[in-house]
Structure 1
């Protein structure tokens, strides 16, 4: 696979939304926009009863934001727009009236951890370690941190944020509540996801909607909050410190 994509497949009420990018499933703005649109549309599609969110390939789940786009930011507005991409995906997942199962087959970094945290039920392999690497390039996990803190708590979030060079094992992520279950390999993971999705598709859609409201209670202000956080990151990426750090990625 060499071409980036976001695609959806609907089978028997189960919508599988898959994204892929040849650079370790990093997400540039156009893929984030397409992912937001696809999740939103699946949420209002009456033929869809449950959503499985996954990435292509068998290694990295998501390497976070596209560094190629990051180094090209030259003004505050484009910086805010860039970081709003992950904000929009998280808000689409939050507002979606269907349960979203996250399939995390490999490492998740930065925004990838945010997407995993925004899933309603996340399942992973033992290779799905996580890292918030933002401080290593001069910014911080400001946009994704509300979703991550909601799942694993402030203490675990602060550990990951401060120790930005370290990958935290999948077992640690499970202990903290990010992953519901961790499997030995992708085959076992996929079997378990299919079983769960087949059960969920038989749930009362009205009950599922009310449960989503319950799970995400108190987050109605996130449209504004995440936009504010995107502006912070957009400003920081223009700082001399970050610009100097990013030179090595050009």
Structure 2
């Protein structure tokens, strides 16, 4: 449990391990929550009872709002900046290196780091409300840490569109067309039924075969252990810029 947010892991009889995260500010991810999320993903991967993992958030219309502005505004030096953005690197690498297939359940908007979390899953389901936006360049940071995961799923061209058109949402239908989402449903009820049915199906398969297949899916990303850390350093430096500080302060004033 973290202050004003939490991450939980529940394992059912079929071996489906459901990881749920929550933060009252649109499921944004402060550093402590990022650390706990990465640890829980690793824990689920090591748990023998878990056959397949479902990654989801609480609430209805926002899957994840990305980095916590409340925390970003208080970063005072490169070390703190690096430590914060390393949290996103740890979450993505935890998904990447987990021996279990991870299903994403995206019920609402995914912004910034939230798009990266969705992209780090192996098979992602969403609702029609799950629009996506990479807002980082507008903030003055850039999607450096989550970029490799997003680009791997949707390709360089679509990633470039998201990264540069940073103030506009792209629809869930667009995200499905670009292969970020495998399926898109009209309602949360339909989403949950589909996620459960697919998870139960995977849980009945040979776990060794699934683990071997996951290694094939992620082949060529072994260097991410270092790459994402380097990217965290870039974002950790840029967050100290006058541009970024002014943007965040202005955003927070306008949202009061």
Q: 2:229 aligns with which of 212, 227, 230?
A: 227
Map 1:57-72 → 2, pairs under 5 A:
57-72=59-74
How far the C-alpha of 1:21 sits from its partner, in A, is: 0.4
Map 1:202-241 → 2, pairs under 5 A:
202-241=204-243
Residues 1:202 and 1:59: Cα distance change in structure 2 (over 3 Å): same
Superposition TM-score, scaled by structure 1 size? 0.98
CA distance in structure 1 between the aligned counterparts of 2:57 and 2:29, rounded to whole angstroms: 11
How far the C-alpha of 1:8 sits from its partner, in A, is: 1.0
Residue 11 (structure 2) aligns with: 10
Residue 170 (structure 1) aligns with: 172
* Structure 2: tracts of 5 or more residues without a match: none
SS where residue 236 of structure 2 aligns?
helix
CA distance in structure 1 between the aligned counterparts of 2:46 and 2:244, rounded to whole angstroms: 40
How far the C-alpha of 1:209 sits from its partner, in A, is: 1.1
How far the C-alpha of 1:87 sits from its partner, in A, is: 0.5
SS where residue 56 of structure 2 aligns?
strand
SS where residue 18 of structure 2 aligns?
strand
Structure 1 segments (4+ residues) deviating >3 Å = none
How far the C-alpha of 1:242 sits from its partner, in A, is: 1.5
Residue 150 (structure 1) aligns with: 152
How many residues align structurally? Answer: 249
CA distance in structure 2 between the aligned counterparts of 1:24 and 1:240, rounded to whole angstroms: 26
CA distance in structure 1 between the aligned counterparts of 2:16 and 2:182, rounded to whole angstroms: 20
SS where residue 17 of structure 2 aligns?
strand
How far the C-alpha of 1:247 sits from its partner, in A, is: 2.0
SS where residue 93 of structure 2 aligns?
helix
How far the C-alpha of 1:135 sits from its partner, in A, is: 1.3
* Structure 1: tracts of 5 or more residues without a match: none
Map 1:1-250 → 2, pairs under 5 A:
3-12=4-13, 13-248=15-250, 249=252
How far the C-alpha of 1:241 sits from its partner, in A, is: 1.7
SS where residue 67 of structure 2 aligns?
coil
Cα shift readout 1:2-43 (whole Å, capped 9, x = no counterpart): 941101110020001000000000010111111111110110
CA distance in structure 1 between the aligned counterparts of 2:246 and 2:130, rounded to whole angstroms: 31
Cα shift readout 1:78-104 (whole Å, capped 9, x = no counterpart): 000010111100000000001000000
How far the C-alpha of 1:137 sits from its partner, in A, is: 1.1
SS where residue 61 of structure 1 aligns?
strand
CA distance in structure 2 between the aligned counterparts of 1:246 and 1:240, rounded to whole angstroms: 10
SS where residue 146 of structure 1 aligns?
helix
Superposition TM-score, scaled by structure 2 size? 0.96
Aligned-residue RMSD, C-alpha: 1.0
How far the C-alpha of 1:136 sits from its partner, in A, is: 1.5
